[in-house]
Amino acid sequence: MAHATFTAEGQNMESFRLLSGHKIPAVGLGTWRSGSQATHAVVTALVEGGYRHIDTAWEYGDQKEVGQGIKRAMHAGLERRDLFVTSKLWCTELSPERVRPALQNTLKELQLEYLDLYLIHWPFRLREGASRPPKAGDVLDFDMEGVWREMEKLAKDNLVRNIGVCNFTVTKLNKLLGFAELIPSVCQSVILGTQMEMHPGWRNDTMLELCKKNHIHVTAYSPLGSQEGGRDLIHDQTVDRIAKKLNKTPGQVLVKWGIQRGTSVIPKSLNPDRIKENIKVFDWVIPEQDFQALNSIPDQKRVLDGEDLFVNKTEGPYRTVADLWDHED
């Protein structure tokens, strides 16, 4: 359930409570492929748009720019404790001894003392310098338990407030739940957050239900259908019809749909007007009938299937996209 927690630009802003007790703001700014423009986008989001949640990753190559944006926003009066910053551990760092140095590098790039959420970016380990698509030997064995123990240590040392994963399947999440430590006070696993692709073109209901059952908060990535090569949900007939009916934009309807499903949502934009538009999703709801229409959009399909990154059709552990997703889709 979303809670109204603070206001900015005169609107109530909602957040979700993680099992740790920390709150994650319902809308965050995505920064994948934001490059050198990330600083401006982050400043616009935090200072003008009222965002308090920023998503980045080492792989995006923009952590320094994101950090500069956060710093400027703090000079403008924002407090670190009011921000929720997420970053991710890249696939080349998925061995126990590389976890802490990778996080330390991320903190340095972001100029931060701690992260609010640190996620395993993908559950596949890559050799440093791996090609896209991978050559033979580029995809290595992944010691999930060893890496997770190091993630838990980062949380215990207060370098990260919450830890989690992205792009997991039911099979992989159940494996992780089998050895993840419990939070004694609530007897629940210490996996506190996860990011998965979710939008009306790829609802991924099964993973959402599994996470809810295990009190793991889900952040929906690519909520608008992603970027070039993605799915154009902005011009989807159903989305457009509902947007016109509610006097909202398609982007706002897509963001709101994610929040009404109980997920936080991280739309990416470099355009100041769209950054501000995408967070104006509070103080109104998508009526049930329209919500169900969005839940019925056909041709359910992932945009980010990982093929380029991890599939080698002739050699290595993953020969098909279905292999990556444990044949669950």
Q: Summarize as ranges the residues that interact with ligand NDP (CB under 6 A).
A: 30-32, 55, 121, 166-167, 195, 221-227, 234, 249, 251, 266-271, 274, 277-278, 304
Return the residue of 48, 59, 323, 329 that touches ligand 1BO, per CB under 6 A: 59
**Among ligand 1BO, ligand NDP, none, residue 277 binds (CB under 5-8 Å by kind):** ligand NDP
Please name the amino acid found at residue 171.
T
Min separation Cβ 274 and ligand NDP, Å? 4
Nearer to ligand 1BO, 32 or 325 (CB): 32
* DSSP code string of 127-141: -TT--SSPPTT-EE-
Give the catalytic positions in this structure: 60
**Among ligand 1BO, ligand NDP, none, residue 200 binds (CB under 5-8 Å by kind):** none
Please count the CA atoms within 13 angstroms of the CA of 18 that sit on its side-chain side. Answer: 24
Q: Which residues contact 265 (CB under 8 A, 6 or more apart)?
A: 26, 27, 28, 219, 220, 223, 255, 258, 259
Return the residue of 2, 26, 41, 57 that touches ligand 1BO, per CB under 6 A: 57
Min separation Cβ 181 and ligand 1BO, Å? 26
The tokens describing 125, both together, are 């380990």
Return the residue of 16, 32, 51, 325 that touches ligand 1BO, per CB under 6 A: 32
Min separation Cβ 11 and ligand NDP, Å? 16
The tokens describing 297, both together, are 């959009």
Position 307 contacts ligand 1BO (CB under 6 A) = no
Min separation Cβ 173 and ligand NDP, Å? 14
Min separation Cβ 230 and ligand 1BO, Å? 11
Residues in contact with ligand 1BO, counted by CB under 6 A, come to a total of 3
**Among ligand 1BO, ligand NDP, none, residue 268 binds (CB under 5-8 Å by kind):** ligand NDP
Nearer to ligand NDP, 19 or 304 (CB): 304
Nearer to ligand 1BO, 57 or 324 (CB): 57
**Among ligand NDP, ligand 1BO, none, residue 87 binds (CB under 5-8 Å by kind):** none
Min separation Cβ 267 and ligand NDP, Å? 4
Instruction: Report yes or no: 148 and 156 within 8 Å, Cβ to Cβ.
Output: no
Spatial CA neighbour of 254 closest among 1, 27, 52:
27
Spatial CA neighbour of 236 closest among 167, 300, 306:
300
Instruction: State the CB neighbour count (10 A cutoff) for residue 277.
Output: 18
* DSSP code string of 60-75: GT-HHHHHHHHHHHHH
Position 165 contacts ligand 1BO (CB under 6 A) = no
Spatial CA neighbour of 30 closest among 50, 60, 73, 67:
60
Please name the amino acid found at residue 101.
P
Beta strands, E only, the chain: 2-8, 11-17, 23-25, 29-30, 53-55, 84-89, 117-120, 125-126, 139-140, 163-166, 182-183, 188-189, 191-197, 217-221, 264-265
Residues that bind ligand 1BO (CB under 6 A): 32, 57, 59
